Amino acid sequence: MTAEPNPKTSETELGAIRAIVFDTFGTIVDWRTSLIKALEEFGRKTDVETAWDHLVDRWRAAYKPNLDRVRTGELKWTILDELHYSALVAGIWPYLTERIRFTFPDELLAPLGAVA
């Protein structure tokens, strides 16, 4: 038994299609793993230690509440990059300063009088 072919769509119908759009963020693009790996590499190079996965999750958790602040009018219309940056500054920086051990070479600290 042979299946009947589907009727072809006319060029006129295809001409009415202006765009086919897919939201791939978090579905096809694994932003979380790639960001954690990049931060781990940063940590190795700079001698910064923290639970990078927790930091990434905390940063991402700020997304919806910040977006809701725009939706309700609490914040003026704000592009997504600015919302992500504000989440980094407001939520992540305190997390970092509480949990990360920073080490600086003596030659950076000497001009500040911090090295005996």
Q: What is the pLDDT of residues 41-74, one digit of tens each?
A: 988 887 778 888 988 898 889 889 989 999 999 9
Looking at per-residue pLDDT, the higher value among 87 and 27 belongs to 87
| Residue 47, pLDDT score | 79
In the structure, what pLDDT confidence band is assigned to residue 115 with cuts at 50, 70 and 90? very low
Q: Quote the CA–CA distance of 23 and 15 in Å, as a whole number.
A: 23
Task: Flag whether pLDDT at 108 surpasses 70.
Answer: no
How far is residue 111's CA from residue 102's CA, in Å, rounded to a whole number?
A: 18
Task: Please say if the pLDDT value at position 38 is more than 80.
Answer: yes
> How far apart are alpha carbons 98 and 93 in whole angstroms?
9
Q: Residue 25's beta-bridge partner residues? A: 29
pTM more than 0.85: no
What pLDDT sits at residue 94? Answer: 72
Partner residues linked to 29 by β-bridges: 25
Question: Token pair 């504000």 is at which residue?
Answer: 86
The pLDDT value given to residue 42: 84
C-alpha 39/C-alpha 53 separation (Å) is: 9
For 66-104, what is each residue's pLDDT tens digit?
Answer: 899 999 999 899 888 888 888 877 766 776 677 666 665
What pLDDT is recorded for position 116?
47
The residue among 70, 52, 47, 60 whose CA lies nearest residue 91 is: 60
Neighbours of 83 (CB within 10 A): 18
Give the chain's radius of gyration (CA, Å): 24
Q: What are the structural domains, with CATH classification, of the chain?
A: 19-102 (1.10.150)
Taking the C-alpha atoms of residue 106 and residue 115, their distance in angstroms, rounded to an integer, is 6
